[in-house]
A and B are shown apart, each in its own frame.
Chain A
Amino acid sequence: MKTTKGPESAVTASPVPRRLIPPTQPRAPKNQGKARKRITIILFLLPGVILFSLLVLAPILLAMYSSVFKWNGFGLLPTNFVGLDNFTRLLDNEIFLGDLRRGALLIVLSLVVQLPLSLAIALLLNQKMRLRAVYRLLFFAPYVLSEVIAAVLFSMLLSPERGLANEVLGFLGLGSSSFLSEPDTVMFSLFVVITWKYFGFYVILYLAGRQSIPKELTEAAQIDGCGPWHVFRYVTLPLLGPTIRITIFLSVIGTIQLFDLVYVLTGGGPVHASETLGVTMYDIGFNRFQVGYASAISVVMFLLSLVFAIGYQRFVLKRDLDGATTTMGGGRR
């Protein structure tokens, strides 16, 4: 099977046209070649299929299954079937309903503040300016840090007694705030931390999108008498459409599963004022051992992501993919 140097050079040197050279297995009947191909396919896919089924698909199926049971989590499978009780209980659970409201608030804030801000910064950084590479490097740095580090850093920074933030407020004559321990301010503090951590990621994506727009297009618009605003509104923005739609998608999915940052920064407090679906699920499942009930929350998170992803793909991303099917070969997203 292994190619040695000899026949190889002989082949290239031989005057015989290529198609006359017998294919790989000259004596193997056609069926055997087919079987070999099948075996290759199976062997190559096997590790991935096993890993994916056992550790991605099985947990999601198990979450769905156990969401209709009352279960303290002992053993591998639950036995006490309760139908949709867990879900009806959720509808009466103020914390859970609050999670949904807070998630919606974070999504709105991201779409209205964080993404436009990132887009503006990306367009600024797209201009010729000194130290541009340094700024880009700096803005992206928080993304590389774990959410835990961001959370601990900000919990110090925002702490009422020793924090820097209050010092600055006092210096500006704005009084003081306890940011993380007031139900009224905690969500906005959280949003600031999320923005600190993630805006650089969106800036990078927008920059990549902006740089793939050919110069000729913006120049042509300028020559035709467009001012900067019109160039942005009628050339840059539409052409950034695919990137913008992707960032919205990532932002929403990220918000649905937000856990680390909140868990470490506030633990969901004060009195659940900053709790997210993930934190509620963790608390019910791992602290109170109501695994069936917690699984119902997992299922809700899953369905929210799924419905959003499918709906978004059908109605929003579709036109982006239409042009890209040559490279994606009908793959999704």
Chain B
Amino acid sequence: MSVHARERRTTPARIARPIALHTIVIVIGVFVIVPIVYGVLGGFKDNPQLSNNPIGLPAPWVPENYTNVLASSDFWRQVFNSSLIALSTALVTVAVSALAAFVFARFAFRGRELLFTIFAAGLMFPFAVAILPLFIILRFFGLLNNPLGVILPQAAFGLALTIIILRSFFRSIPHEVEEAAILDGCTPFGFFWRILLPMARPALATVSVLAVVNSWNNFFLPLVVFNDKVWWTLPVGVQQFSGQYSADTAKILAYVVLAMIPALAFYAVAERQLIGGLTAGATKG
């Protein structure tokens, strides 16, 4: 112990530095976690408790706020809608993008770079710009109050990023692989389907995770497309619920907390793909 200490020269600075470091990081951690903990605990209080005792633990613990939400069919319907729409969006986005990215990565033809640039430029078209005309177009096609009215536009707006990420991955697969496949009698589609896609599994997982998260958190589009509460997704449901029960803070907190569990659980499972995808998207995009 003493040898060790002498070796590392325990000057005050050596001790102070890690302590300072940890203090700063912990303060930031508190800033991040307090709103969430406040929500979780608040959901276990009733409203008089929230007014008199906003900081402390609930006394007594009131589980009714949570159990009422869990017993409501509206909540589960919204979980179902969000899941259905997120999974379908991911499926459509990735399938359509993979086909296009394959062509962009491995075929030479005139106008390729121009077309790719147009797709890639989709990255900077903010969703909010298109929402009003999108609404009119969806109404024209009879897609209002229809999950496809959210799935298809989300997929269309997801194409840019997905194509960019997949194209750069497809390009990294050596040409020899393709030559060998073609020599062995593969059609372009056969090569794409039986060789390229299986090899691209990590990239496909990444872009699917991104599509799921973006869809899950989308609010603007479902807000305008779904008048009928049958199709409301969780964000719309949370917003409507908080408007409806604006006086009942505890109830809203319980609803919000339960609504964030699926997203956090998904994050816990797919953290690597999500972060990998976002950094890849930001640097390649």
Contacts and interface: CB of A to CB of B under 8 A. Distances in A.
Interface stretch (A98-106, A155-163, A214-222, A230-238): A155-163
Interface string B118-132: 111111111111111
Interface stretch (B1-9, B67-75, B197-205, B235-243): B235-243
B157 interface: yes
A116 to B, nearest CB: 14
A305 to B, nearest CB: 5
B85 interface: no
Nearest to A55: B156
Contacts of A8: 184-185
B28 A121 contact: yes
B134 interface: yes
Contacts of A301: 126, 128-129
Given A162-B54, A162-B249, A52 B32 contact: no
A309 interface: yes
A156 B152 contact: no
Interface stretch (A81-89, A137-145, A182-190): A137-145
Given A129-B25, A260-B220, A331-B117, A24 B128 contact: no
Nearest to B233: A146
B133 A66 contact: yes
Interface in B211-244: 213, 216-220, 224, 234-236, 238-239, 242
Contact of B242 (A152, A161, A282): A152
Which secondary structure dominates where chain A touches chain B?
helix
A51 interface: yes
A124 B182 contact: no
20 contacts: A8-B184, A40-B189, A45-B100, A52-B159, A55-B156, A55-B157, A124-B21, A129-B18, A138-B32, A153-B36, A156-B38, A156-B39, A157-B35, A162-B47, A204-B275, A208-B283, A256-B126, A301-B126, A327-B284, A329-B113
Interface string B84-121: 00000000100111011011000101000101111111
Interface string B16-28: 0010011011001
Given A55-B153, A62-B136, A145-B260, A11 B217 contact: no
Interface SS of chain B: helix
Nearest to A77: B136
B219 A146 contact: yes
Interface in A125-178: 125, 127, 129-130, 135, 137-142, 144-150, 152-157, 159, 161-164, 167-168
Contacts of A268: none
Interface of B: 18, 21-22, 24-25, 28-29, 31-36, 38-39, 42, 47, 50-51, 54-55, 92, 95-97, 99-100, 102-103, 107, 109, 113, 115-137, 140, 152-153, 155-157, 159, 163-164, 167-168, 171, 182-190, 192, 213, 216-220, 224, 234-236, 238-239, 242, 249, 252-253, 256, 259-260, 263-264, 266-267, 271, 274-275, 278-279, 282-285
A18 B31 CA distance: 65
A184 B152 CA distance: 41
Contact of B253 (A127, A156, A295): A156
Interface of A: 1-3, 7-8, 11, 18, 21, 23-24, 37-38, 40-41, 44-45, 47-49, 51-52, 54-60, 62-63, 66, 73, 76, 121, 124-125, 127, 129-130, 135, 137-142, 144-150, 152-157, 159, 161-164, 167-168, 196, 200-201, 204-205, 208, 242-243, 246-247, 250, 253, 256-257, 259-260, 264, 277-278, 281-282, 285-286, 291, 294-295, 298-299, 301-302, 305-306, 309, 327-333
